[in-house]
Amino acid sequence: MNGTVWVKASLCLAFSVLLAGCGAKATVDPRTEAPPLAVIEQDQDVNLVKVDHPEQFPVATATTREAAPELHVTGVISPDVSRNVPVISLASGRVVEIGAKRGDSVNKGQLLIRIQSADITGALSDYRKALADQVLARAQLDRANTLHEKGAMAKKDLEIAQDADAKAKVDVETTAERLRVLGADINQPSGVIDIHAPVSGVITEQNVTASAGVKTLDNSPNLFTIADLSYVWILCDVYENDLSNVHTGEYADVRLNAYPGRVFQARISQIGPILDPNTRTAKVRLELRNPGFMRLGMFATATFHGLQKQIRVVVPA
């Protein structure tokens, strides 16, 4: 009896505890389970900068000034083709001596090359024959004049002698001129001709060596090319979008990679009329005097200055 009472009391107590737990969950405050409130941060003024030691950063006021736009392009020093002089030989033959080579500075009249030529030998032979024919024709004309004066020769025979003398004179003049064209000296006849420098300058091209054969003018390149490097060109590539900043007759600042501290003035002499279809650039030619140390093939930087000025912001350094 007493055991049954205790069992019922235990069940009642457990049921009461269960009801109390369910009632506690039903009365929980929902604010305790809600996510935290979002914190709103105010944007700072980007113009304001805070540093730890402001005395180390003095404040400077920006100003404005007018400046022309500048265009920087690269170029290469090239010879002035109008100052290039080819050295040729109208006589074919074999080289027996070379007096200068590529890269040498030569003076006008300096010996460059000696050629042994069969053309000169043949021309000398023709000249000597023409001289002999002229002597004979002159003697026959004198004899014809004497006979005609004494009535022993007809006038037509005298005219034939006069015609032969005139033709002999023409032959002498023609053969002598041929020798001069070939480069031979009439006063010193020889089968070897000397080729001299026509101008002073630097030999930039050489197409002949010792003991080499020299062909006629139609089948042979120049023996030498002498360039006067007192004035040189700088050839630059300028994109078509930048051509509006380049004008013929104006001047550009030139700096050489080999001498970066020196600035030279070069005149714009030509803007190429044809664009490169691959790079979309035009060749711009600058001309300037060579101070003596500019060498062909040197790299240079050219600065072109525009005509219209623009307002730019300047901050003191």
Q: Which of 165, 229, 230 is nearest to 203 (CA)?
A: 229
Phi-psi group of 246: left, alpha or beta (phi > 0 → left; psi -120 to 50 → alpha; rest → beta): beta
- Closest Cα partner for 285 from 276, 298, 272? 272
pLDDT digits (tens, 9 = 90+) for 112-136: 999 999 999 999 999 999 999 999 9
Residue 18 pLDDT greater than 70, yes or no: no
**Among the ranges given (42-51, 201-210, 237-246, 276-285), the one the predictor scored with the smallest mean pLDDT:** 42-51
pLDDT value of residue 26: 47
Is the model's pLDDT at 211 over the cut of 60? yes
Q: Is the pTM of this model over 0.85?
A: no
Contact 310, 248 (CB under 8 A): no
Q: Of 202, 227, 250, whose CA–CA distance to 71 is shortest? A: 250
Torsion sign, CA atoms 260, 275, 266, 235: positive
| pLDDT value of residue 213 | 85
Other C-beta atoms lying within 10 Å of the C-beta of residue 214: 21
What residues does each domain of the chain span? Answer: 70-80+228-314, 85-116+194-223, 118-190
Cα(273)–Cα(171) distance, integer angstroms: 52
Does the structure show a pLDDT above 90 at 54?
Answer: no
Q: Where are the alpha helices (DSSP H) in 231-272?
A: none
Is 31 a residue whose pLDDT tops 70? no
Question: Which is nearest to 304 in space by CA: 259, 258, 271, 261?
Answer: 271
Mean pLDDT is lowest, of 168-177, 216-225, 244-253, for 216-225
Q: Which CATH class is domain 70-80+228-314?
A: mainly beta
The pair of structure tokens assigned to 299 is: 């790299």
Q: What is the CATH number of domain 85-116+194-223?
A: 2.40.50.100
Residue 213 neighbours by CB distance under 10 Å: 11
Give residue 45's pLDDT band: very low, low, confident or very high (50, 70, 90). Answer: low
The pLDDT of residue 75: 96
pLDDT tier at 21, thresholds 50, 70, 90: low
User: What's the rounded mean pLDDT across residues 59-76?
Assistant: 80
Q: Which two tokens stand for residue 17?
A: 């505890």
**Region of poorest pLDDT, from 30-39, 78-87, 192-201:** 30-39
CATH of domain 118-190: 1.10.287.470
Of 28-42, 60-74, 179-193, 227-241, which has the strongest mean pLDDT? 227-241
The pLDDT value given to residue 283: 95
Q: What pLDDT score was predicted for residue 24?
A: 45
CA distance 197 to 227: 11
Higher pLDDT, 31 or 235: 235
Average pLDDT of the chain, as a whole number: 84
CB-based contact 57:51 (threshold 8 Å): yes
User: Using CA atoms, how far apart are residues 161 and 169, in angstroms rounded to an integer?
Assistant: 13
Q: Is the pLDDT of residue 63 over 90?
A: no
Nearest alpha-carbon partner for 284 in 244, 240, 234, 211:
234
